[in-house]
Chains A and B, each alone.
Chain A
Amino acid sequence: MAWLVVRLAISLSLLYTASAVFEDQVGKFDWREQFVGKVRFALFDTHSQASKKLLVATDKNVFASLNSRTGDLFWRHVDKTGPEGHIDALLMYGQDAVVVVGNGRLLRSWETTVGGLKWEAVLDTGSFQAAALIGVQDFVKYVAVLKKSAISLHDLSSGSQIWVENLPDSDTVQYQTIYSGGNGLVFVLGFVPSSHIVIVEYKIEDGEIMKKKSVEAAWMSSLENSCAVISSGNLLCVDQITQSLYTLPLQSAEPTEMRTIHLQTLDLEVASGFQPVLTSTQPNPAQPPLAEFFLQLSPDHHILLQLKDDLIAPLRDFNPSYLAAFATSGEKTFAAVMTPKNDTACTINLFSADTGRRHLDTTIIYHMDPNGGKPNRLYVHAFLKKDDSVGYRVMVQTEDLTLTFLQQPGRVVWMREEALADVVTMEMVDLPLTGTQAELEGEFGKKADGLLPMVLKRLSSQFILLQAWMAHLWKLFYDARKPRSSVKNEVTIDTLSRDEFNLQKMMVMVTASGKLFGIDSKSGTVLWKQYLEDIQPNSIFKLIVQRTTAHFPHPPQCTLLIKNQDTGLGSLYVFNPIFGKKSHISVPALPRPVLQTLLLPVIDQDYAKVLLLIDDQYKVTAFPSTKNVLQQLQDTASSIFFYLVDSSQGKLSGFRLRMDLSTELIWEVVIPTEVQKIVAVKGKRANEHVHSQGRVMGDRSVLYKYLNPNLLAVITESTDIHQERSFVGIFLIDGVTGRIVHEAVQRKARGPVHFVHSENWLVYVYWNSKFRRNEFSVLELFEGAELYNSTVFSSLDRPHPPQVLQQSYIFPAPISTLEATLTEKGITSRHLLVGLPSGNILSLPKMFLDPRRPEMISEQSREENLIPYAPEMPIRTEWFINYNQTVSRVRGIYTAPSGLESTCLVVVYGLDIYQTRVFPSKQFDVLKDDYDYVLISSVLFGLFFATMISKRLAEVKLLNRAWR
């Protein structure tokens, strides 16, 4: 019987929490954007005229095929992160794309139409240098891979290794390039710095060394960037110091000197400090490269040159020019060059490669985004039209990782914001009120100035409201006549306004490349973007909302703290999160490294919250620092505390603000680094509300929660990583007094630890190294049956330590990130959002993570709705909030409350971005979509009339009775 009850209780509780998306709700509240990252290699499929494929390989170890007409993904393969999945080279021939992965570890061939793997070959160890397709007699049959000390040749159709040969003298010679002109030979080029070039000639059939020679080249410092093979096997190098070009025929019989051509003789000069770049093109791997090549002499100066009869002649000088690229269609090769037109636009023109003549009507005008970066890569797709004239499309990549695809005469076909593949931090900001709402708000905001003006003001605002209402009615009427699908109006920055339930918000996203985005949370449309130049690649960002939208007419204000990881120096960037405009507020200079920031609830006269920045001398800078603010800070200084964490010394220290904005050390906790190191410190979220102070127990008594807003969760990992002795330490420390509220160790555990700290609980996930599994643990803190001081919480006056309950569970999946839902008032039950490496987001009811889950079921625990303890945490597929919309490489989950208590907005970011809404306690405050208004109103009216009639009848009856 008890077992049955247990089962019933479990199934009932599951029934209670089960929730999933119905088929017709797919895409209604959610959207997903997929990204690939910064493009390193891009190849157009020139195989057939109608092909729309564009293959890209990126720095995020993603290999994908894009639709060149729309910019959408055909398919995408996400490899391992880090060097293991790094894509070294991408080659394409016909339908096959050959990719070298993981520093020459794997060679893979992909079928490009559907993205299927054709074959994979594991290569010998050795660091990757170069890869090339090798053709024999006009057919490309092989792919050669050059490693530091060996060269191998593989069959292109099967991947089988034909031969592998060690390179001679590989310990002194740096081999860097492979070349084959389709004549049955493979040349491997290497050099000894400042000494000579080595050329080794292999026979394709069996890998026999045919010839090996070395040529003096004392000026040589790198082969890869400054040399190229052109025109039937001529090695061409450029050197900046000697200002010369050097040529050498690879197949010459006797070792000769390299022929020197001074750039001066060509009337050219390399800009000082610039490493000149040679760009050649080999349209068909089975044919020798063309005799034409680009020489880049300075960042904005390219020249097209030609080697003819051992003479180098300039074909066309492009000065100024930003970018230049070759493109081939059929038998013809073209050169596309981007030249600046004016401050905001560039023109791209197509030239014939062999003559340098400009093709008529081939100008594309590229408008540069004033808030974006400079263009830095140009990819060209040329094609022959039916009338044999040439057409082309280009893809431009800019510094801020925007991919723009253009076609003649400058129409932007599509754009991709690949910076969003690397979101670092984000915030959600309420949208502003509509004009009319703002008008009303403004009325209350103004200072009273006499009775009559106030009346007039009221009347005018009422009139505006009436006008807006009429306009709204008219729009409704107008829209009603149109078919439903065409009514859907586009969101633009001008039509932004808050909806009734504040479900639509502005997502402010900060990306690692230093580009900021403002995205509409309802549709995923990028509404504004701003590229911050001069951002160091390893900067740390912290985004702070100083003023929300609630203080009309003051615009909302966000502050971004950008901190250089090496120097620790920071700078502030203040902007309006709705429009993305930089604010003109003067920003304090930060001459010293910033250690900590603190957003105070203190507001200045313009309703901006005060941000305190603590530097490495423990001096405090306030922003904004008006007189009003400084006065308030002086008044409240003794109650402003902050903490600093120095994980290298294992030191946590607490400070108190003094009147003169200096600080004093008040407590210190030192966790010896020999034993364990601090890996993470987290407080609670400032905007979190807790509705109930306690939990009602089965016997109707109340167990009060220990709700300390200053509590910090400090997680440590042991330095000893032996699986029996490793442990994870959990410290709950009061951030004001430095008091260690609770201290626990999880034995035989290892990181990475993910944790959520909220309300009176802490949930963390660790790796159990003994049982080799992931485990969840939950800690809850309770004051007990009585509250010490029920009116206010003060860390300074809470002498009794809380009672701590803890329980652990097995979680049958690895975890990439963890977050908790958040709602407006905290009434709705909480769920944990677990990001799984599989790309799913699991919404796990907090109810399952409750340390009071009883071992044995009893009357009281049933009364409390506690689920009996089971060691394993269930994963149910209907708990995946993103159904099949998986999110690759989840890095973070952001939750924000909406205006509806039942609804929490969720943004998941990683390689992709996914936005949805979750309803942890179902939509208890929302009527269903198919709610029957007609029925309920007819019943209401029916009842109303029935009461009227019966009242009348009763009156008549009473009157009749009285007469009787």
Chain B
Amino acid sequence: MSTKRGLSLILSVLSTITLLWTQFGECNNGRRLGDAVETDFSGFSVPLEHSFEIDDVPRFRLRGALQFRGGRENGVYLAQNQLSEKDRSAMKDVAAVDGLYRVRVPRVSLQVDRQTERQSEGYITGFVRACSLVESHLSDVITLHTDVSGNVIGISIVTIPGSCRGIEVEDEVDLEVFNTTISVVAPVTAPVPETAPYIERMEQEMEKKGKNPQEQKSFFAKYWMYIVPLVLFLMMSGAQDQSGGGAGGGAGNGGGR
């Protein structure tokens, strides 16, 4: 039990580190991005469109609006409508033929100062199997990925659970409201070789060694009683099989000869 807790602790620590990176990664670095931290997102919205068609030819309709608020990445909010009666039955039909549920957002920059010069046309698209969306009762997780300068580069949609087991969703009410978790993820900054902590650690150890007079004895002075028998043993066994070179490892030499 304790072992498990230990592991989860490690993992939680790791995930918080990752999170920290996600949140502050950009503040530490990119000069050009540094400015963006202060600029207030005075709030703008981007349409989120979806398509689910029985013939699998995408015809995108508005699903909701992504509202970007002030602050950083997590300041995103999705305002979306309920699915109409027609949409719900269409969704179930698409799920029945293992069709796709697609979403798309236009290519935008999430930085306000870039909004004016937004000229990149085109969309970013992602998909999930319609059946898994139905079976998860419209619980989906949408993640928008941005690049270093805040341009949206990718959208991913997953449902939880993500499987298609062929479970019948009886209640139409389950398919009325999306239960969406939305987030914006910026790239994390990859670590560089950590020389400073390493040197610090080395110094600490040197210090520790210096403080403790007993530790100041040389390696041989301290462990001669282990080393001498080991060396003797090695010498004796070494004398026995001189040819013990060869490819090394593998099977032993089958004892002395």
Contacts and interface: CB of A to CB of B under 8 A. Distances in A.
Given A742-B188, A745-B148, 11 more contacts: A668-B124, A670-B153, A675-B148, A740-B143, A744-B187, A744-B189, A799-B161, A856-B201, A869-B198, A926-B247, A929-B246
Interface size class of A (residues with CB under 8 A): 35 or more
Interface string A537-579: 0000000000000000000000000000000000000000000
A928 B251 contact: yes
A646 interface: no
B90 to A, nearest CB: 18
A669 B187 contact: no
Contact of B160 (A676, A701, A799): A799
B248 A796 contact: no
Interface stretch (A1-9, A34-42, A78-86, A582-590): A1-9
Interface stretch (A259-267, A275-283, A802-810): A802-810
By DSSP majority rule, is chain B's interface helix, strand, loop, or mixed? mixed
30 contacts: A4-B219, A670-B124, A672-B151, A676-B148, A699-B2, A700-B3, A703-B7, A725-B32, A737-B126, A742-B188, A743-B147, A743-B187, A745-B188, A747-B30, A775-B192, A779-B190, A785-B11, A797-B161, A797-B164, A799-B141, A799-B160, A803-B18, A809-B193, A810-B195, A856-B201, A919-B247, A926-B247, A928-B246, A932-B257, A936-B254
Nearest to A804: B18
Interface string A278-301: 000000000000000000000000
Contacts of A871: 193-195, 198
A930 B129 CA distance: 61
A470 interface: no
B135 to A, nearest CB: 11
A19 B193 contact: no
B175 to A, nearest CB: 19
A855 interface: yes
Given A666-B100, A923-B250, A806 B190 contact: yes
Interface in A782-823: 784-785, 789, 796-799, 803-810
A924 B249 contact: yes
B125 A665 contact: yes
Nearest to A16: B249
A667 interface: yes
Nearest to B246: A928
B201 A697 contact: no
A928 B247 CA distance: 6
A870 interface: yes
Given A672-B153, A923-B249, A926-B247, A797 B163 contact: yes
Contact of A667 (B126, B187, B250): B126
Contacts of B161: 797, 799
Nearest to A788: B162
A664 interface: yes
**Those 5 A-B pairs whose CB atoms lie nearest each other, nearest first:** A922-B249, A699-B3, A739-B156, A799-B158, A871-B193
Interface in A722-765: 724-725, 727, 729-730, 733, 737-740, 742-747
B193 A746 contact: no
A725 B11 contact: no
A768 B141 CA distance: 36
Contacts of A6: 205
A638 interface: yes
A745 B164 contact: no
A808 B132 contact: no
A796 B185 CA distance: 20
Contacts of A676: 147-148
Contacts, number: 207
Nearest to B56: A664
B249 A740 contact: no
A675 B151 contact: yes
Given A664-B56, A927-B250, A796 B129 contact: yes
A744 B188 contact: yes
Contacts of B215: 1
B123 interface: yes
A190 B175 CA distance: 86
Given A803-B18, A871-B195, A924-B250, A743 B188 contact: yes
B154 interface: yes
Nearest to B257: A935
B190 A737 contact: no
Contacts of A744: 187-190
A777 interface: yes
Contacts of B195: 810, 871
B160 to A, nearest CB: 5
Contacts of A444: none
Contacts of A501: none
Contacts of A668: 122-125
A22 interface: yes
The residue in B160, B161, B163, B193 that gathers the most chain A C-beta atoms within 10 A of its C-beta is B193
A922 B251 CA distance: 11
B137 interface: no
A936 B147 CA distance: 65
Contacts of B3: 699-701
A927 B6 CA distance: 42
Contacts of B29: 747
A614 B157 CA distance: 27
Given A855-B197, A871-B195, A928-B247, A725 B154 contact: no
Given A22-B246, A729-B147, A777 B190 contact: yes
A796 B52 CA distance: 17
Interface in B57-111: 98, 100, 102, 107
A789 B164 CA distance: 13
B178 interface: no
Contacts of A209: none
A928 B255 CA distance: 14
Interface in A346-375: none
A671 interface: yes
Contacts of A675: 147-149, 151
A785 B243 contact: no
Contacts of A700: 3
Interface string A1-28: 1111010000000000001001001000
